[in-house]
Structure 1
Amino acid sequence: MLRRLLELKNYTSFRFAERLQDNGILPSMGSVGDSYDNALMENFWSTLKIELVYRTSWRTRDEAENAIFAYIDGWYNTRRIQKELDDLSPDEYETAWHHQHTSQTEPDSVTPAPTGSR
């Protein structure tokens, strides 16, 4: 399974594109048949292999699958510094964005609303 997962390289196959089209989904990857069609995924697999697979050995397939899942979900997507995000990780960027937008919309002091007459 791990070997097959790491060797899978046909990310924008015609069948995949047809399935997306059948479900009304536009692909977010490059077009099929040019030099850019696999560039993003090739870069991802290369990084995963260099940073995880070649540095680690596992006793079982489950250990390997769990490590790859943890890498993708816990490290690669949330903590990795991104140049496009001003050299912040996605988590740091999102936190800064929320802090900036909530501090602009919240008043400095909270005044209770009048209760009206009884």
Structure 2
Amino acid sequence: APPPAAAASQAPAAEPIAVVPPPAPPPAAPRREEPASRALPRLLSDSAPRYPLSALNRRIEGSVQIAFVIQPDGSVSAVRLLSSTPPGVFDEAALAAVSRWRFEASGQRVPTSRTLSFRLPKG
């Protein structure tokens, strides 16, 4: 009889501790992530950036992170540079390419960002 009583007294104490802490953190994190992933319209037309001739000749590769707003009609606006590596080499090409992109119309303004990578052609 003593062992079941000891097990029963341990089980109720363990349940409240295990149940109370986990519910608070998970709802906060998914609420922030889900609307952004659900609201991101599908890319319909992505204009590839032109590789700058000076970078091509010097065999330079890099990347550019761009922020922009997808408009309700699927067009892109407020295109701006967040960062680039190496600085100044691929910025103009990336900004020009992103401004030509078109997304599926969603009826909402969707702020987002993307990283464009500039890699030399193989061969």
TM-score interval w.r.t. the shorter chain?
Answer: under 0.3
Larger-Rg structure: 2
The structure, 1 or 2, with the larger RCO (C-alpha pairs under 8 Å, 6+ apart) is 2
Q: Give me the TM-score of the superposition, normalised by structure 2.
A: 0.26
Q: Pick the structure with more strand per residue.
A: 2
Q: Give me the TM-score of the superposition, normalised by structure 1.
A: 0.27
